[in-house]
Amino acid sequence: MNKIEKKCKELLKKQGISISSEINFDVNGKIHTLSFEYIVDTFMIASDESKMIFLTALKKAVLAQDIGVNEFFESMGKLLLMAHLSNKIEI
C-alpha cells in the first residue's frame, strides 16, 4: 500500500466510514457495485499527481460530512465505470 493510499484509508477510518461501503450503479439496466476500497485502490494506480488530487478532494469531501463523502465516491465510481465502458480499464 502506498503512502497516499494509506492516508486515504486512514482518513475514512478516522471518520468512522467503512472502507467496505458500497455504491450501486445502474448502467443500462445492469447493476454494478463498487466498494469504497475498490475505488480508492483503482485510483491509486494513477500518477502521483493524480493520487494527490484524489486525496485532496477526499479531504474536502470529509469536511462536508457524510453527504460529501457519499457524493465523492459516487462521482469517482461513475468515472471508473465510464472508463470501463470505453474499454480503457477492466472492472
The cell numbers describing 52, all together, are 494527490
| pLDDT tens digits for range 30-49 | 899 999 999 999 999 999 99
Which residue stretches of the chain are H helix? 3-14, 36-43, 48-63, 65-85
Q: What is the pTM of this model?
A: 0.87
SS3 69: helix
Residues of the chain with pLDDT below 70 are 66, 87-91
- Where in the chain are the domains? 3-85
d(CA 43, CA 23): 16
